[in-house]
Chains A and B, each alone.
Chain A
Amino acid sequence: MIPALFVAFAAVLLVSSLFVILNRSPVTSALSLVLAFCALAGIYLLLRAEFIGLVQVVVYAGAIMVLFLFVIMYLNLGRDIESGITIVVRRGLGWLLGAVLVAEGAWLLARGWAPGPGGPSAAAPGAGNTQQVGALLYTRYLFPFEITSLLLLVAMVGVIVIARGRRGPAAPPVAPAPGVSAGSAPARTTGGTAAVTPEEKP
């Protein structure tokens, strides 16, 4: 049962990934990517990584892809124009290099290999996956976890500064929108679209 489900999810993942890079319309690419992420979340669930699977759906298929779709619609992109001899040559070279990469991977997998020795599981065996990951995250990986929060803060501030656009020195600085604390995604969008809000006008 589980191998059959895995094959089904893997087929969906591969086909939708190919759709991402083959489709000319960026919106269709983004929606195919959502499908690929959901199939990957299913594979994570089959591998008994429930926390990662659900975070995959929430963060990737939810937040990140909403950001992608918002930018595609904000820029009002149509279908890509891909014609001309240089583009055809580059496409052929790209597929050739991809085939070389796949051949290298197949060669590596075909040689004799085995995973190294596994460490003993740190958490209690009766606890759920989320509980185990959380315990590990807040004990052994506490310092990287805090660094990650710092990284997110820096990214948030940087995105607001970048997406606000160029402005004359006389213009008053725009106060960050109230959605800043909800994460970097709404902060970016509010910072990106705030050209001149009505209350700024004299």
Chain B
Amino acid sequence: MIPLAWLLTLSGLVFAIGVVGVLVRRNALVIFMSIELMLNAANLAFVAFARELHSLDGQVFVFFVMTVAAAEVAVGLAIIVNLFRLRETVFVDEINLLKG
């Protein structure tokens, strides 16, 4: 039996790694991967609480999160491909058309 505190600590650490990845990287694809890391950290917390509370609703929520993540990745990568065609870059700090 794994203690709930271990699982929540692991989830928090993975989430923090994802946040740092979004903040420090300038490649849009790596930023996307960091967002996936954060979603997975939230999923881990869902599953941990589902086990702790003897309820399956958390696992159903993880299923929904995965579905939405799949749709989000498909749309986001399409946008990145289009951006690359337009600007020849995937670095987010070079895409500053809206910067005043």
A151 to B84, CA, bound (A): 26
Let me know if A51 and B59 touch, CB within 8 A: yes
A165 to B84, CA, bound (A): 11
Chain B interface, DSSP helix/strand/loop, else mixed: helix
Given the contacts A52-B47, A132-B56, A162-B78, A21 and B34 also touching, CB distance less than 8 Å: yes
**Distance (whole angstroms) from the CB of B76 to the closest CB of chain A:** 9
Tally of A interface residues using CB under 8 Å = 85
* Interfacial residues, chain B to chain A (CB-CB below 8 A): 1-2, 4-10, 12-21, 23-27, 29-30, 32-34, 36-37, 40, 43-44, 47-57, 59-60, 62-64, 66-75, 77-82, 84-85, 90-91
Given the contacts A43-B44, A72-B29, A101 and B16 also touching, CB distance less than 8 Å: yes
Tell whether A97 is near chain B: CB-to-CB under 8 Å.
yes
Let me know if A155 and B75 touch, CB within 8 A: yes
Given the contacts A72-B29, A159-B74, A163-B78, A21 and B24 also touching, CB distance less than 8 Å: yes
Tell whether A98 is near chain B: CB-to-CB under 8 Å.
yes
Chain A interface, DSSP helix/strand/loop, else mixed: helix
Ordered by A's residue number, 12 sampled pairs between the chains whose C-beta atoms are within 8 Å are: A10-B6, A17-B17, A20-B34, A47-B51, A49-B50, A60-B66, A74-B81, A97-B19, A115-B4, A136-B60, A155-B74, A188-B78
